[in-house]
């Protein structure tokens, strides 16, 4: 079922979701590095990157909803 969900998704949705996941992953890795090294400016930068990842993920959800409405004929 999950495979069908991904295969029916538009290329734009796939790119946006994968970009959001990449931003989140990089942000989490930077957060860990900043905490281990006690680097405050890196911690704030990593939080901003995580925020960008979350916003990108929400945009992806909006794209998926738009695509679903188009398929439903609304």
pLDDT confidence of 62, banded at 50, 70, 90? very high
Q: What are the tokens at 67?
A: 């695509």
Alpha carbon distance 18, 20 (integer Å): 5
Q: Could you list the residue range(s) of the whole structural domain that residue 37 is in?
A: 11-72
What total number of domains does the chain contain?
1
pLDDT value of position 32:
97
Averaged over 6-31, what is the pLDDT?
93
Q: Are 57 and 17 in contact (CB under 8 A)?
A: yes
5 within some domain: no
Averaged over 25-45, what is the pLDDT?
96
Q: Are 16 and 55 in contact (CB under 8 A)?
A: no
- The pTM assigned to this predicted structure is 0.84
Q: Are 49 and 27 in contact (CB under 8 A)?
A: yes
22 within some domain: yes
């Amino acid at each position: 079922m999950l495979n069908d969900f991904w295969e029916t998704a538009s290329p734009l949705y796939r790119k946006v979701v994968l970009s959001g996941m990449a931003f989140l992953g990089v942000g989490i890795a930077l957060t860990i590095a900043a905490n281990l090294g006690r680097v405050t400016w890196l911690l704030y930068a990593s939080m901003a990157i995580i925020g960008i990842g979350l916003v990108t993920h929400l945009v992806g959800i909006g794209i998926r909803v738009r695509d679903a409405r188009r398929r439903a004929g609304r």
